[in-house]
Amino acid sequence: MKVLGFNGSPRKNWNTATLLRKALEGAASQGAETEFVHLNDLRYRGCQSCFGCKTIGGKSYGSCATRDDLTPFLERVKTADAIVMGSPVYLGAVTGGMRSFLERLIFPYLVYDAKSTTIFPRKIKTGFIYTMNMTEDTLKGGRFGFDHQIAATDQFLKRIFGVSEWMASTDTYQFEDYSRIYAPRFDPTTKARRRQEVFPLDCQKAFEMGARLAGLDSG
The domains of the chain are located at: 2-215
Q: Could you give the CA distance from residue 52 to residue 61 in angstroms, rounded to a whole number?
A: 6
Q: Could you give the CA distance from residue 176 to residue 144 in angstroms, rounded to a whole number?
A: 26
- Write the Ramachandran bin of 190: left for phi over 0, alpha for psi from -120 to 50, otherwise beta: alpha
Full DSSP string of 49-83:
---GGG-TT-TTTTS----STTHHHHHHHTT-SEE
For the stretch 127-153, pLDDT in tens is 999 998 887 887 787 777 788 888 899
pLDDT band at 81 (very low <50, low <70, confident <90, very high): very high
Write down the pLDDT at residue 217. Answer: 53
Look up the CATH number of domain 2-215.
3.40.50.360
Q: Could you give the CA distance from residue 176 to residue 161 in angstroms, rounded to a whole number?
A: 37
Q: Model's pTM, two decimal places? A: 0.92
For the stretch 43-80, pLDDT in tens is 999 999 999 999 998 899 999 999 999 999 999 999 99
